[in-house]
Amino acid sequence: MSAHLDFVQKNAKYVETFDKGDLPVPPQKKLLIVTCMDARIDCYKSLGLELGEAHVVRNAGGSARDALRSILISQRLLGTREVAVFHHTNCGMQSFTAPQLREIVKSDAQSRPENEKEYIGKSVDGMEFYEFSDLEKSVKQDVQFLKDNLLVLDEAKITGWIYDTANGEVKQVV
Amino acid sequence: MSAHLDFVQKNAKYVETFDKGDLPVPPQKKLLIVTCMDARIDCYKSLGLELGEAHVVRNAGGSARDALRSILISQRLLGTREVAVFHHTNCGMQSFTAPQLREIVKSDAQSRPENEKEYIGKSVDGMEFYEFSDLEKSVKQDVQFLKDNLLVLDEAKITGWIYDTANGEVKQVV
């Protein structure tokens, strides 16, 4: 069964007690969180954040580079002045290399027509995946990337963190 | 006060009752949600999702194009076979155009050295922002983008939704 078939029914319960319809658009804590898409992470709960307090950007790995467009919009149009980057233990991004993933995609396309195979090969060869091996180093590099990037506001406070999926704990790295 | 100064204290309460340390890495519902970074959205609560059930990708606007890298990793390495794209009412992405945002960034950089101004101008001119004016159309376009894209698996079920920030309600568009 498709998971989306549940959405309307489950959402009806949420709507019954919903009382946050008048929250302003700009995040009240002027905070933006970058974290991984990983299914085991709920940063509202793990950081005690309330609805309306922070922008939440999530992508494979919690990559700051991948989040740059969102960070720019958040800072310039919606007033956030703090970025907290979270990577986590046991992350899928530590389980592959870009060349391996490109091979998987090309191999999956073996039975396609030649022009499609060519398009897929070129596309995936041109993509960055931002995988990493050293967790702590990856957090530090992402924070440094944002500090060095001229599109990110100088006055923004930028911190880097690790979330432990085994016990729910967060630890500041930088 | 910086918002991150609260994280450790608030997280300690989360850790006290945390009992989800043994969840598998692949999302149990084989589902990936794409939604906006907007501070007023908590898709776990609004869709009744449990920890471990779905990948959650969030960016400015809930852009499917921006999410492509994450979707590819999610499908090829972690087995998801369904994508649900959510955009929402009263979205910041409806409040500007890319040329306006580029002007804001260039204007903010007026007092910087010439070489930095040049770098900032070139960078921002080369960026896509994926802003939109028609909400429903933007959802349909994002779903079509994923259906057409050869890097997205043919067998993936793709749906498009609108979340109403005024009353918490979700509505399927496509």
pLDDT digits (tens, 9 = 90+) for A118-170: 999 999 999 999 999 999 999 999 999 999 999 999 999 999 999 999 999 99
CATH fold for the domain made of B28-95+131-174: Beta-carbonic Anhydrase; Chain A (3.40.1050)
* A36 marked ligand binding residue: yes
pLDDT tens digits for B37-66?
999 999 999 999 999 999 999 999 999 999
- In angstroms, the CA B4 to CA B74 distance is 29
Residues 119-138 (B) with a CB less than 8 A from some CB of A: 119-120, 123-124, 127-130
Identify all chain B residues contacting A66, using CB atoms and an 8 Å cutoff.
69-70
Residue A107 at interface with chain B, using a CB cutoff of 8 Å: no
CATH class of A26-95+131-174: alpha beta
pLDDT tens digits for A56-83?
999 999 999 999 999 999 999 999 999 9
Residue A8 at interface with chain B, using a CB cutoff of 8 Å: yes
Classify the complex by whether its ipTM is higher than 0.90, answering yes or no: yes
Give the residue from A148, A146, A139 showing the smallest Cα distance to A172: A139
- Note whether A76 contacts B21, CB cutoff 8 Å: no
Report the gap between the CA of B44 and the closest CA in chain A (Å).
8
Tokens 């306006």 belong to: B100
Give the residue from B13, B35, B42, B41 showing the smallest Cα distance to B87: B35
Identify all chain A residues contacting B116, using CB atoms and an 8 Å cutoff.
150
Residue-range domain boundaries for chain B: 28-95+131-174, 97-129
Report the gap between the CA of B139 and the closest CA in chain A (Å).
16
- In angstroms, the CA A28 to CA A42 distance is 19
Please return the burial class of A88, using the count of CB atoms within 10 Å of its CB with bins 0-12, 13-18 and 19+: buried
pLDDT value of residue B77: 98
